[in-house]
Amino acid sequence: MNAKPRTLPLSKRGMSFETFMWAFTRATALGMYGFILFGVVGALAMGAQHSMTFVEVLRWALVSNPGHVEYTNLPDITPFASMFWRLVASGMFLTAGSHGIHGVIVVLDDYLPKDNQRNWNRYLNMAMFFVVAAAGLYIIWTA
């Protein structure tokens, strides 16, 4: 009886682009959960330290962009514009963006039977992602 563990090494099963992106999408989904949890806990902590209203906490929670607490009653938004929080905001933004754009590519792929159509679908959506990512990062780091 064959009782040895059955595991195929990567060299035998290979890793196609499709498989990699499937795993990537799951990983980014988990990453988003992490960022959201971190953002909510971080917002509550910042709210306690700086006497934020609940509305301000909510605005800050998901994307820790200093622009989200600008024009509020907070007297000083410098702590919200630290490199740490900008990095957290960038991480959340890029993770969510890449997860979402891959979802769009996969759904459109269903309706594109030809290889060159699928390639164009990928190129156009990735180009769109890079443009949006550049604009988003510019806002996060200059706000």
Partner 1 sequence: MEVTVKIFRYNPEKDQRGNYVTYKIEADPNDRVLDVLEHIKGKEDGTLSFRRSCAHGVCGSDAMRINGRNMLACKTLVRDVGANITVEPLLGLKVAKDLIVDMGPFFDNYKKMLPYLINDNPIPADGKERLQSPEQRARFDESTKCILCAACTTSCPSFWANDEYYGPAALVTAHRFIFDSRDEGADQRLHVISETNGSVRCHTAYNCTEACPRDIHITQAIGEIKLAMVTGKLE
Could you say whether residue 94 binds partner 1 (CB under 8 A)?
no
Which CB atom, from 13 or from 84, has the smaller least distance to partner 1?
Answer: 13
Helix (H, G, I), strand (E, B) or coil at 76: coil
Which CB atom, from 16 or from 142, has the smaller least distance to partner 1?
Answer: 16
Q: Is the dihedral of CA 6, 10, 14, 20 positive or negative?
A: positive
**Least separation in angstroms between CB 39 and partner 1:** 27
Cα separation, 117 vs 119, whole angstroms: 5
Tokens 């510019």: give the residue: 138
Could you say whether residue 1 binds partner 1 (CB under 8 A)?
yes
User: Interaction with partner 1 in 8-47: which residues (CB under 8 A)?
Assistant: 8-10, 12-16, 18-19, 21-23
- Token couple for 23: 């795993």
Torsion of CA 10, 12, 16, 19, to 10 degrees: -60
Which residue ranges make up the site for partner 1 (CB under 8 A)?
A: 1-3, 5-10, 12-16, 18-19, 21-23, 106-107, 109-113, 115, 118
